[in-house]
Chain A
Amino acid sequence: MDTNLLWIVLLPFLGFLINGLLGRKLGHKTVSVIACLLPVLSFVVSYAAWSRLVDGANALHWNGFPWIWLEGTLEVPFALHFDGLAAVMCLVITGVGSVIHLYSIGYMKGDPGYHRYFSYLNLFTAFMLLLVLADNLLLMFIGWEGVGLCSYLLIGFWYEDDANCAAGKKAFIVNRIGDLAFLIGMFVCLQHFGSLDISMLTSAEEITRVSAETLTFPWGAASVVTTIAVLLFIGATGKSAQIPLFVWLPDAMAGPTPVSALIHAATMVTSGVYLCCRLMPLFEASPAAMGLIAAVGACTALLAAFIAFTQNDIKKVLAYSTISQLGYMFFAVGMGAFSAALFHLVTHAFFKALLFLGSGSVIHAMHHEQDMRKMGGLRNRLPFTHITFLIGTLAIAGVPPLAGFFSKDEILFAGFQQGFLNAVGSAQLFWLISFLTAGMTAFYMIRCVAMTFWGESHVEESLERNVHEPGGWIGFALFVLAIASALGGFLNVPEFLGGHASLGHFTGLHHSTSDLSVDQLRSLHVSEWQSMLLSVLIAGSGLMLGIHCYGKGRDLRTSFNDSSAGKALGRLSASKFYVDEIYDRIFVRPFETLSHLLFILIDRIIIDGILVNGLALLTRSTGNVFRRIQTGYIPGYLLTFGCGVLVLIFILLNFLREGGAQ
Chain B
Amino acid sequence: MIPEFDSFNLPILSLIVLTPALVALVLCLVDRNNRALIRQLALMGSFLTLLFSLLMVANFDSNLGTMQLEEQHSWIESLGISYHLGVDGISILLVLLTCFTMPFVFLSTWAAIGDRVKEFHIALLLLQTGMVGAFVSLDLILFYLYYEAMLIPMYLIIGIWGGKERIYAALKFFIFTMVGSLLMFLGILYLYNHAGTFDLPVLMERLRTTHPLGSDQQLWLFLAFTLSFAIKVPLFPLHTWLPDAHVQAPTAGSVVLAGVLLKMGTYGLLRFAIPLFPEAAFDLQSMMAWLAIIGIVFGACMALVQNDIKKLIAYSSVSHLGFVVLACFIPNLEALTGAILQMVNHGLSTGMLFLMIGIIYERRHTRELADYGGICKVVPIFTIFFLLAVLSSIGLPGLNGFVGEFLLLYGVFSSVPLWGCLATTGVLLGALYMLNMVKKFLFGPLVHEENHHIEDLNTRELIYLIPFVVMMVWLGLYPAPFIKMVQPTLTLYVEMLQN
Contacts and interface: CB of A to CB of B under 8 A. Distances in A.
B414 A191 contact: yes
B193 A659 contact: yes
Contacts of B113: none
B487 interface: yes
B424 interface: yes
Nearest to A181: B424
Contacts of A187: 409-410, 413-414, 417, 420
Given A74-B410, A659-B193, A594 B480 contact: no
B428 interface: yes
B439 interface: yes
Interface stretch (A172-180, A424-432, A459-467): A172-180
Contacts of B403: 68
A658 B444 contact: no
A67 B479 contact: yes
Most buried by A among B211, B302, B442: B302
B301 A156 contact: no
Contacts of B443: 156, 159-160, 162, 165
The DSSP consensus for interface residues of chain A is helix
Interface in B186-221: 189, 192-196, 211
A580 interface: no
Contacts, number: 142
Contacts of B425: 180
A595 B305 contact: yes
Contact of A165 (B211, B304, B333, B439): B439
A112 B211 CA distance: 73
Interface string B378-402: 0000001000000100001110001
A165 B437 CA distance: 12
B302 A162 contact: no
Interface string B322-342: 000000000001100100000
B124 to A, nearest CB: 28
Interface in B423-472: 424-425, 427-428, 431-432, 435-436, 439, 442-446
A562 interface: no
B446 A190 contact: no
A160 B374 CA distance: 6
A146 B194 CA distance: 55
Nearest to A127: B398
A70 B333 CA distance: 8
A149 interface: yes
Interface in A543-595: 591-592, 594-595
B302 A68 contact: no
Nearest to A595: B301
B421 interface: yes
Contacts of A54: none
Contacts of B410: 74, 186-187, 190
Given A70-B337, A145-B396, A190-B414, A176 B428 contact: yes
B396 A592 contact: no
B35 interface: no
Interface in A2-30: 20
A658 B413 contact: no
B426 to A, nearest CB: 10
B409 A67 contact: no
B397 A146 contact: yes
Contacts of B377: 159-160
Contact of B427 (A180, A592, A595, A655): A180
Contact of B483 (A68, A138, A186): A68
Interface stretch (A197-205, A266-274, A602-610): A602-610
B445 A176 contact: no
Most buried by A among B304, B391, B397, B409: B397
Most buried by B among A169, A176, A183, A659: A183
Contact of A69 (B237, B384, B402, B480): B480
Contact of B479 (A68, A169, A186): A68
A73 B333 contact: yes
B314 to A, nearest CB: 11
A659 B192 contact: yes
Interface in B167-196: 172, 189, 192-196
A183 B424 contact: yes
Given A160-B377, A165-B444, A612-B172, A184 B414 contact: no
B298 A172 contact: no
Nearest to B211: A662
Given A66-B480, A71-B487, A612-B172, A162 B444 contact: yes
Contacts of A20: 384
B110 interface: no
Given A65-B478, A187-B409, A162 B396 contact: no
Contacts of B298: 598, 602
Contacts of B413: 184, 187, 191
Given A68-B406, A145-B397, A74 B237 contact: no
A137 B333 CA distance: 21
Contacts of B417: 187
A255 to B, nearest CB: 14
Nearest to B436: A169
Contacts of B364: none
A142 interface: yes
B237 A161 contact: no
B427 A67 contact: no
A479 interface: no
A169 B435 contact: yes
B478 A67 contact: yes
B483 A69 contact: yes
B427 A176 contact: yes
A190 B435 CA distance: 30
B407 interface: yes
Contacts of B334: 70, 73-74
Interface in A134-164: 138, 141-142, 144-146, 149, 152, 156, 159-162
B234 to A, nearest CB: 11
A161 B447 CA distance: 12
B484 interface: yes
Contacts of B68: none
B420 A184 contact: yes
Contacts of B414: 187, 190-191
B240 interface: yes
B376 interface: yes
B477 interface: yes
A160 B309 CA distance: 21
Nearest to B172: A612
Interface string A599-619: 100110001100010000000
A591 B196 CA distance: 54
A603 B305 CA distance: 12
Contacts of B374: 159-160
B196 A662 contact: yes
Contacts of A70: 333-334, 337, 407, 483, 487
A608 B444 CA distance: 35
Most buried by A among B305, B337, B420, B427: B305
A537 interface: no
28 contacts: A66-B480, A67-B477, A68-B480, A68-B483, A71-B487, A73-B334, A138-B406, A144-B397, A145-B397, A159-B374, A159-B376, A159-B442, A160-B443, A161-B445, A162-B439, A165-B443, A165-B444, A173-B432, A176-B428, A180-B424, A187-B409, A595-B301, A595-B302, A603-B302, A612-B240, A655-B189, A662-B196, A662-B211
Q: Which 10 residue pairs spanning A and B have beta carbons closest together?
A: A662-B196, A595-B301, A142-B397, A159-B443, A165-B443, A187-B413, A66-B480, A69-B480, A142-B398, A162-B444
Interface of B: 172, 189, 192-196, 211, 237, 240, 298, 301-302, 304-305, 333-334, 337, 374, 376-377, 384, 391, 396-398, 402-403, 406-407, 409-410, 413-414, 417, 420-421, 424-425, 427-428, 431-432, 435-436, 439, 442-446, 477-480, 483-484, 487
Given A142-B398, A658-B193, 6 more contacts: A144-B397, A159-B376, A180-B425, A184-B413, A190-B414, A662-B196
